[in-house]
Each structure stands twice: as C-alpha cells, then as structure tokens.
Amino acid sequence: MVLGLPAVLNRTKTFQGAMCVLNTLQNKPLVSERIQARQENPGLQLQDMQGYLQRTGIAVDDLHKLNIIHVTGTKGKGSTCAFTERVLRSCGFKTGFYSSPHLVHVRERIRINGWPISKQLFTKYFWETYEQLEDSKDVHGGSMPFYFQLLTLLAFHVFLQERVDLAVMEVGIGGQYDCTNIIRKPWVCGITALGFDHCSLLGDTLEKIAFQKAGIFKPGVPAFTVRQKPGPLRVLQLRAEELRSALLVCPELDQYEALVGPMSLGLAGKHHHANASLALQLSHSWLQRHEARERGDDLSFALSSCRPGSQADIFQPSSDMLTGLQETEWLGRNQKLRRGSVTYYLDGAHTSDSMQACVSWFRQETLHRNKTTNIRVLLFNTTGERDSAALLRLLLPCHFDYALFCPNISDTPAGGSAAQHSSSECVHTARCRDNLRIWQTLNSSETLHPQHRHLVARSVSRSLVFPCILSALHWIRQTEQLQSTEALDRMREGGQVSVLVTGSLYLVGGALRHLEPALDS
C-alpha cells in the first residue's frame, strides 16, 4: 500500500502536525483495504511490521530489553493490563504501558509510570519514528504503516528510549496476527475471558477465537488464563503445547482472600475479580523471572514442572501488590462521576458478556437509591458489527425512564450549509434511529411479560436521538427537560438522575471529554 503525505506536513514537527499525520492514517477507504488484505493474507501485517521495525532502527532483539508482559483476550484485557502495571509500579519498577483504544486523547495509549506521555515527548518521539519511515519509503515501494501499526512502533521506541524496567503490552485485535505479536520473547503472557468480538477476522466460534488469541504464546514463556469454557480452554492448552509454552489457569480471587483477608480493588464490579487474579499471576511470574535473572538463573526454570491446564499456585500477595490492586484506575470502565444531582456511570461495554457485567454493576450501584425519586437515563451507541438488539435487550432490567441515542461525535460543527448538515445527519444518526426503533420494539407491550409492562413500557415515548454527545449531555443537565409531571415531581422531592453511558468505548470517551475536560490537558 502506497501512502504519501504532503511534504509540508513532514516539516511541521509540532504536536498538531503529528496529529494531522495520524489522522491521515485513519482514512476509511484505506482501512477497508487493509481489512480485506488481512482477511486474504492474515500474516501480512506481521510481515509488514518486521520491515517497519527495521526501518525505525529497532531490531526485533531490541524488544527483549523491554521485559514485556503480553496480554490478549476478548473482555477485560485493558483492565488486566491496568491492574498488572499498577501492581508492578507499586513494587518499585518503572513501567511502560501500551493499550488501545484511547478515550480522550491518543497519548493515553502510551504511558510511563501510569501517566500518558506528555505532548512534548509524544511530539519528539513521533517525529523521530515517522521521519525514519518517511525517509526510507521510496526504497520500500512507498509503503508506510497504518494508524495502529505506527502507534505500536512509537510505543516500542518510547519505552526503549525512556528505559522502562518492563512494558505491559495489550494486543489490539486477536493475537496471532496482531502487530504487537512481533514480540518474540515476552516474559509472560496472559489471556483474559474469551467471547464473540471481531468475528469476521477471528472466527465465529469460541474455539476459533481461542486459536487466534493463543498465537501470542512463545516457547519457554509461561502463560496464564482466567477460567474458560471447556472447548476454548482445550484449544488454548493444545496451542500452548504446540508452541512449547506452559499454560496455567488462575485461581479465584477469594482463594487469595483466604490468605490475606478481604481485598479491595480500584475497579468496581465482580467481573474484575478474574482480571485482578490474572494480574496477580502475571505480576508474580514477572517478579519471579526478574529475581531469577538477577541471580543469573535460566528464565525458563519453572516451565518443566508445569502441567498444562492445571491451576496456578496460590501465593500470598505482598502489601505492595495489594496496594497496586486497590489503587488501579482505568478510565471508562465501571467509572462513576458525580455532577450535582446527576451521577454518570460510564462503561464501554460492547459485547453481550461485558454488557451483562455492566448491567449487574449499574443495578448494584443504584440499588440503594430511592426508586420513587431516582430517574434513570440510558445514553447508548454501538459501532461496527455490534449486535445492537442483543445489547439493548440486556439493558431492559435497568428500567430506564429515558433512552437517549447519539453517534460517537463529540459535538456538531458550527456553521456549514443545510445540505452539509443533512448529509452529516444521514451518515451519523441512521444507526441511532435504528437503535431507537429497536429499543421501542423491545419495550412494546407485545414483547414484554405482563408483570414487567408497567415498569418499562413508559420509556417508549421517552426515547430520543441527538446529533452529538454534547447535545445529549446538555439535555441531561437541563432537568427541566424532564417534561413529565412524574419526573418533575420526583426531582422536586430531592431526586437524583443516574445516567448509564455504554455500548461503545468511543461514546464513553466522548462523554468524558466533556465531563472531565482536564483529561485532555
């Protein structure tokens, strides 16, 4: 693929110039071509990454210096990485952390000691990386990396230059052919809960998805997974044996609590217990290998004694590890923000399993609120191949008073012709209107059990579509917009508004940009 940029951009070595270059790499026609090429030749991305890495002056062997923890999965891989990074930082190590997607700004994807790198560092390292690729493209057929590839190359460059003690790397999509899988010698690998996502690329069964995820296993490298269904777990075990890794299943979190008492996690929701347990095993394994290297031992010392698929040993977490779990933060995942009488519950759930966990968390969080005065609002959107109907059906037990739908657009541009606005509305709100119709159908009396009709049918007439996130948030803040007499009476009685923002991480990120503007600084 040939991708050229105007020379003027290459001379504008500012942060804004870097953002402009990155935006060109998100060109939708080029992305579509990339996806098609990947489906026809899945290994193409890794082949390209090897060439790009060399062109930036980094050898594959240089990545070994990063002492990498490599994590994939369908649900909870970002949260697991966040737990792991925070635990090892609490243990005194300088950490690098690469994740995706970002919620507010792209610098979130590359973190040093938990903090997104500064604009100054991003600018410096971006242009160092990009210029080497640009200068060498003519002898490589004009080939340049795409958005995620470039950011992955940038993360490697940043972590090497900043001399981190370890890097926690989250896989983008899948595992075997993901561009992060250019890593040849991680210190430990992890696989979170498996589910259906990106099926067009990874397969339409959990077994096929497990096969792709297990592609990050490496010879002589320990691997851990949370409890999985028997079919996909068997695939993981077979792949571990084939790739000469050693796969162990993490114990339940309460098994640690038998040793240290109740454990406090920085991330709410019971579904994070499995992620925290996996993070403990990844951190403990990394620490063991670090200590072994300090002693001069063989880093594969523990693999021969592991029976594939057996449960990992339970150990007593140190106080530093417990502190790390307690102080973990991860934007947009089971996050709660209070703004006056409105409390926002933000969770980027976008699969059926993650939405079930989101609903459980939201209902538990709002359980204590007076049902006669609490007003519940849903702000929802989906993207890509997500099954909106399946996700919205799972949200019915929350009994929302209002359901708001908007695209993942932060705000609408000022000015512009009516034709431009009309075209934009057709493009960006068509799916939102479809989601509204699905919601109204799900809430219709014909589809509900009689005992539930009086609880949720009222939201049919209170379903709204907005052109952007800002307009939806503005409507929520203006409590006088709650036009029903019932809702106004509840507000006068000291009522609270509980808003669940879910269905898309991009929607959550757009909401956070308005609710927490300091995050963009």
pTM of the model: 0.87
Assess if residue 211 is contained within a domain: yes
320 and 417: one domain? no
Could you tell me the CATH number of the domain that includes residue 513? 3.90.190.20
Backbone phi and psi for residue 252, each to the nearest 5 degrees, phi listed first:
-70, 155
Q: Which pLDDT belongs to residue 495?
A: 65
In the sheet with 375-380, reading across from the earlier edge strand, the strands are: 335-339, 342-346, 497-502, 375-380, 402-405, 463-465
What is the chain's pLDDT, residue by residue, as a tens digit (521 residues)? 444 454 444 457 899 999 999 988 876 566 566 666 666 777 788 889 999 999 999 999 999 999 999 999 999 999 999 999 999 999 999 999 999 999 999 999 999 999 999 999 999 999 999 999 999 999 998 889 999 999 999 999 999 999 999 999 999 999 999 999 999 999 999 999 999 887 878 888 999 999 999 999 999 999 999 999 999 999 999 999 999 999 999 999 999 999 999 999 999 888 899 999 999 999 999 999 999 888 887 665 455 556 666 899 999 999 999 999 999 999 999 999 999 889 999 999 988 989 999 999 999 999 876 565 688 999 999 987 789 999 999 999 999 999 999 999 988 765 444 444 445 456 678 999 999 999 999 988 545 555 544 444 454 558 999 999 999 999 998 854 555 555 555 554 556 899 999 999 999 999 999 999 888 77
Pairing of strands 375-380, 402-405: parallel
Alpha carbons within 13 A on the beta-carbon side of 28? 1
The residue out of 278, 304, 326 marking a domain boundary is: 326
69 contacts 169 by C-beta, under 8 angstroms:
yes
292 and 373: one domain? no
Place of tokens 């999965």: 73
Could you tell me the CATH number of the domain that includes residue 31? 3.40.1190.10
318 and 358: one domain? no
Assess if residue 495 is contained within a domain: yes
The residue out of 267, 298, 326 marking a domain boundary is: 326
151 contacts 187 by C-beta, under 8 angstroms:
no
Assess if residue 2 is contained within a domain: no
Task: Locate 321 and state its tokens.
Answer: 């590890």
Pairing of strands 188-191, 222-225: parallel
Summarize pLDDT for 218-247 with one digit per residue, the tens: 999 999 999 999 999 999 999 999 999 999
Q: Which pLDDT belongs to residue 384?
A: 79
Query: What 3-state DSSP class applies to 335?
Result: strand
282 contacts 275 by C-beta, under 8 angstroms:
no
Assess if residue 361 is contained within a domain: yes
160 and 254: one domain? yes
223 and 266: one domain? yes
354 and 482: one domain? yes
Q: Which pLDDT belongs to residue 29?
A: 62
198 contacts 163 by C-beta, under 8 angstroms:
no
Environment class of 46 (CB within 10 Å of its CB; exposed 0-12, middle 13-18, buried 19+): middle
The residue out of 304, 326, 348 marking a domain boundary is: 326
Q: Cα(229)–Cα(213) distance, rounded to whole angstroms?
A: 15
Q: Which residue, among 133, 122, 153, 105, has the nearest Cα to 13 in the 3D structure? A: 122
Assess if residue 1 is contained within a domain: no
The angle formed by the CA atoms of residues 187, 188 and 192, to the nearest 5 degrees, is 155
245 and 371: one domain? no
Q: Cα(25)–Cα(150) distance, rounded to whole angstroms?
A: 9
Pairing of strands 335-339, 342-346: antiparallel
317 and 357: one domain? no
Assess if residue 159 is contained within a domain: yes
Q: Which pLDDT belongs to residue 416?
A: 43
Task: Locate 191 and state its tokens.
Answer: 């696989």
371 and 303: one domain? no
Alpha carbons within 13 A on the beta-carbon side of 517? 2
489 contacts 453 by C-beta, under 8 angstroms:
no
Assess if residue 217 is contained within a domain: yes
383 and 291: one domain? no
Q: Which pLDDT belongs to residue 456?
A: 45
Place of tokens 């959550």: 508
Question: Residue 421 is part of which domain span?
Answer: 335-520
The angle formed by the CA atoms of residues 318, 324 and 328, to the nearest 5 degrees, is 160
Q: Cα(118)–Cα(25) distance, rounded to whole angstroms?
A: 22
346 and 266: one domain? no
Backbone phi and psi for residue 402, each to the nearest 5 degrees, phi listed first:
-135, 145
Q: Which pLDDT belongs to residue 420?
A: 45
Radius of gyration of the chain (CA): 24
180 and 285: one domain? yes
Q: Which pLDDT belongs to residue 294?
A: 87
Count of domains forming the chain: 2
Assess if residue 386 is contained within a domain: yes
